[in-house]
Amino acid sequence: DTAVSQTPKYLVTQMGNDKSIKCEQNLGHDTMYWYKQDSKKFLKIMFSYNNKELIINETVPNRFSPKSPDKAHLNLHINSLELGDSAVYFCASSSFGTSGSNEQFFGPGTRLTVL
d(CA 7, CA 23): 7
Q: How many residues bind other proteins (CB under 8 A)?
A: 22
Shortest distance, position 30 Cβ to other proteins, whole Å? 16
Binding mask 29-58 for other proteins (x = CB under 8 A): ----x-x-----xxxxx--x-------x-x
Q: Which of residues 56-85 bind other proteins (CB under 8 A)?
A: 56, 58
Q: DSSP E strands: which ranges in 8-109? A: 10-13, 19-25, 31-37, 43-50, 53-57, 64-70, 73-78, 87-94, 105-106
* DSSP bridge pairs for 50: 31, 53
- Residues forming the site for other proteins (CB under 8 A): 33, 35, 41-45, 48, 56, 58, 90, 92, 98, 101-109
